Amino acid sequence: MTELTKDVVVIGAGAAGLTAANELRKAGLSVAVLEARDRVGGRLWTDEIDGAMLELGGQWVSPDQHALIDTVAELGLETFSRYRDGDSVYIGPDGVTQRFTGEMFPVSPETERTIAEITERLDAMIAEIDPDRPWEHPRAVEWDTISWDAWLRAQTDDDEAVRNLAFATGSAMLTKPTHAFSLLQSLLMAASAGSYSHLVDADFILDKRVVGGLQQVPVLLAERLGDDVLLNQPVRTLAWSHEGVLAEADAVTVRARFAILALAPVLYPRISFVPPLPRLQHQMHQHISMGFVIKVHAVFDRPFWREQGLSGTAFSPYELCHEAYDNTNHGDERGTLVGFVSDRTADDLFRLSADERRARILESLSHYYGEAAKDPVVYYESDWGTEEWTRGAYAASFDLGGLHRYGADLRTPVGPIHLACSDMAGAGYQHVDGAIRQGRRAAAEILERTRS
């Protein structure tokens, strides 16, 4: 058992933890980063599967994610734009595949007008919300005690409009059934991107990718820390008092003045805290859970959909794969599609055999792109629900009523223990941008305490 003494022990080597560790190191404090996995990056994971480079976790960079954009540039990484030339595809309730250009799906004029009116209403509500403190809005309690689904259905009886509006924060982002989270949680998701309009604009939110994969961000941050990043070291016990902390992992113990928990709150129960965390944290963490999504990667010998004049962008709230995109790697002659299956639909798929699941998913993709989509040369499903140190995707969110009740306490330090991850971000919520912001915040809190 190796014993270390540091100023700060960081638990978790994702973007938040590694950002915090680098900020503290630059300020002259000593750090140790303990990571349970055999790699850094957390929910960022770029890997080679059957000869194809796949981004198994987070991958996109949007124009409003300034913390991530600045970090990418500072690390010397390059970005490239997502392919979007040509027509997009939409499948409505009649099952007919329709091509379209622009942002609005090819729905009836009445449905289009309804979607536009409710989107305008949502943008006005979101403009009043501080994404870092949504619980402070005067109507926070009201908005947090009605589900996203119930609020939408109170606005219109147009089912197709409701399904398309609900999609953006339900299946696409929080990856939970729309009755399971509140209007306020949905507004936070949209406010974190600047507006609801941004959230439903694929050309905005899914703008660019990093050449070589987004996991390079944590990999390069970890390289700067050298031997102070220790892998395969899940923290089993964290003892804490006003004098500091003692973190015990499988092969190392770290005594430090402060700790940063840089992991999703749903993983806190994996650690034995001595003494236990206060009652408030115990209650709060019972109201936070991960969503669930299958990220499907299908690689073909060429991007055949481009030959048909398609951008690769496809949507349908009626399809098994509710959205899909051209995910071809920079400079790759092959073509890659990425599709998503979320919440209850994903649950149902995992009750099938692997072969049945693959057949169902590829059938759904073929509804967008034609029969050629059924025959990829590489096929892979990212299943973060079985990742021991993640347990879901994309991130954690509160249940109905939880955000206004506990949100203000989510980032509050507990004695010498500080907290940081994308799940507790305002701006950049659920994204790498938010993780970087939260890592900087936690480091700044500790630095302020060392100066006082």
pLDDT tens by residue, the chain, 452 residues: 899 999 999 999 999 999 999 999 999 999 999 999 999 999 999 999 999 999 999 999 999 999 999 999 999 999 999 999 999 999 999 999 999 998 778 999 999 999 999 999 999 999 999 999 999 999 999 999 999 999 999 999 999 999 999 988 888 999 999 999 999 999 999 999 999 999 888 889 999 999 999 999 999 999 999 999 999 999 999 999 999 999 999 999 999 999 999 999 999 999 999 999 999 999 999 999 999 999 999 999 999 999 999 999 999 999 999 999 999 999 999 999 999 999 999 999 999 999 999 999 999 999 999 999 999 999 999 999 999 999 999 999 999 999 999 999 999 999 999 999 999 999 999 999 999 999 999 999 999 999 97
Give residue 401's region: left, alpha or beta (phi > 0; psi -120 to 50).
left
Where do the H-state alpha helices sit in 145-274? Answer: 148-155, 159-169, 183-191, 196-200, 202-205, 216-225
User: Measured between alpha carbons, how far is 374 from 201 in angstroms, rounded to an integer?
Assistant: 28
User: Measured between alpha carbons, how far is 72 from 131 in angstroms, rounded to an integer?
Assistant: 23
User: Measured between alpha carbons, how far is 97 from 315 in angstroms, rounded to an integer?
Assistant: 10
The dotted CATH code for 105-200 is 1.10.405.10
DSSP per-residue letters across 267-285: GGGGSEEESPPPHHHHHHH
Q: Does domain 2-43+215-277+414-451 fall into CATH 3.30.750.24?
A: no
Contact call for residues 397 and 407 (beta carbons, < 8 A): no
The dotted CATH code for 46-62+79-84+205-211+292-386 is 3.90.660.10
Question: What pLDDT sits at residue 102?
Answer: 81
pTM exceeds 0.85 for this model: yes
Question: What pLDDT sits at residue 39?
Answer: 98
User: Measured between alpha carbons, how far is 60 from 357 in angstroms, rounded to an integer?
Assistant: 26
- Under 8 Å CB-to-CB from 421, ≥6 apart: which residues? 12, 14, 16, 261, 262, 263, 264, 265, 435, 438
Residues carrying CATH 3.90.660.10, the chain: 46-62+79-84+205-211+292-386
User: Measured between alpha carbons, how far is 166 from 159 in angstroms, rounded to an integer?
Assistant: 10
Question: What pLDDT sits at residue 105?
Answer: 83
Residues carrying CATH 3.50.50.60, the chain: 2-43+215-277+414-451
Contact call for residues 24 and 7 (beta carbons, < 8 A): yes
User: Measured between alpha carbons, how far is 368 from 96 in angstroms, rounded to an integer?
Assistant: 10
Residues carrying CATH 1.10.405.10, the chain: 105-200
Question: What pLDDT sits at residue 10?
Answer: 99
